Amino acid sequence: MEMVLYEVSGSIGTITINRPKALNALCSQVLDELNEILDSVDLETVRCLIVTGSGEKSFVAGADIAEMSTLTKEQGEAFGKKGNDVFLKLEHFPIPTIAAVNGFALGGGCELSMACDIRLCADNAVFGQPEVGLGITPGFGGTQRLARIVGPNIAKEMILTARNIKADDAYRIGLVNAVYPHDELMAAAQKMAARIAGNAPIAVRASKKAITEGLDLPIEEAVALEEKLFGSCFDTADQKEGMGAFLEKRKPSGFVNK
C-alpha cells in the first residue's frame, strides 16, 4: 500500500491516510487501498480500529479536486458510488471504529469521519462540507450522515453555506465526542480503543450492529433486532465469564470472543 497505512498493536488496528503533501485528499487509489485494508483486517484478533491522517495539518482535506475536475456526469456518479461503497463498508464494519481527526476534515474527510462510530478531534480540527462552492453536492454520504448526526437544520446550514466550523463548534453541535490538544489526540484515541477492546467482543459487535441498523428501522422492528442480538450473547464463553466475574465480585479474567 502506498497511500493508506495499516498497523496493528495488540487488539487495536490503526489506518492512516498517507498523502500529506496533498493534505491526505481522497483519490481513487486511496479509496481502493482503504477498501483492501478493511477486507484484510483480522477480525479474530483486532477488536477496534482507529482511522486518522498523516501529518499535523490534515485528517483528510476532501476528495481529490484535480481528479474530479475532468469527470463526466457518469464518471462523477461512479466516483460517488466508489466512495459510498467504501464508507458504507466502514460504517457497517463488524468492530467499532474511532476517527482521530487531526486538522482539516473537509468534504470527503468530514464524510470519512462520519462513517466511523466515534469521532475524537484535535483542537486544530476544522470540519466542513464545502462542495456547493465547487459546483457540486457532497458525494460520499455527507447530505445523509451529517443530518442524522447533528440534525437537518444544522446540516443544511453547513452544507448550503459551505461554512467550515472549528473543533469547539463541532463538539457543541454533537459532530465529535471530544476535543483534545493536538499532541494528546492519538493517546486519547488509543485509550478509548483499548477500553472498547477490553470488553466482550461478541457483545460489543452486537451492540454496534443494533445501534447502526436499528436507526433506520421503525422502533418495533428495531427492538426486535435488539432482542435477537441480546439473545445471541447468551451461552457464549464471554457471557459466562462476564456474569460469573460479576457474581463472584472479581474482574473478568479475559474475554475470548467465543
Catalytic, out of 2, 131, 213, 241: 131
Domain coordinates of the chain in residue numbers? 4-197, 201-247
Catalytic, out of 67, 111, 213, 248: 111
Q: What fold is seen in the domain 201-247?
A: Lyase 2-enoyl-coa Hydratase; Chain  A, domain 2 (1.10.12)
SS3 159: helix
Segment 159-183 shows an average pLDDT of 98
Spelled out in words, what is the top-level CATH class assigned to the domain 4-197? alpha beta
pTM (global) more than 0.85: yes
- 55-96 pLDDT, tens digit per residue, is 989 999 998 999 999 999 999 999 999 999 999 999 999 999
- 240-256 pLDDT, tens digit per residue, is 999 999 999 999 988 98
DSSP per-residue string spanning 72-139: -HHHHHHHHHHHHHHHHHHHT-SS-EEEEE-SEEETHHHHHHHTSSEEEEETT-EEE--GGGGTS---
Percent of the chain having pLDDT more than 70?
Answer: 100
For residues 4 and 47, the answer to whether their CB atoms sit within 8 Å is no
What is the predicted pLDDT for the residue at 102? 96
What is the predicted pLDDT for the residue at 193? 98
Catalytic residue list contains 111: yes
User: Parallel, antiparallel, or unpaired for β 4-9 and 12-17?
Assistant: antiparallel
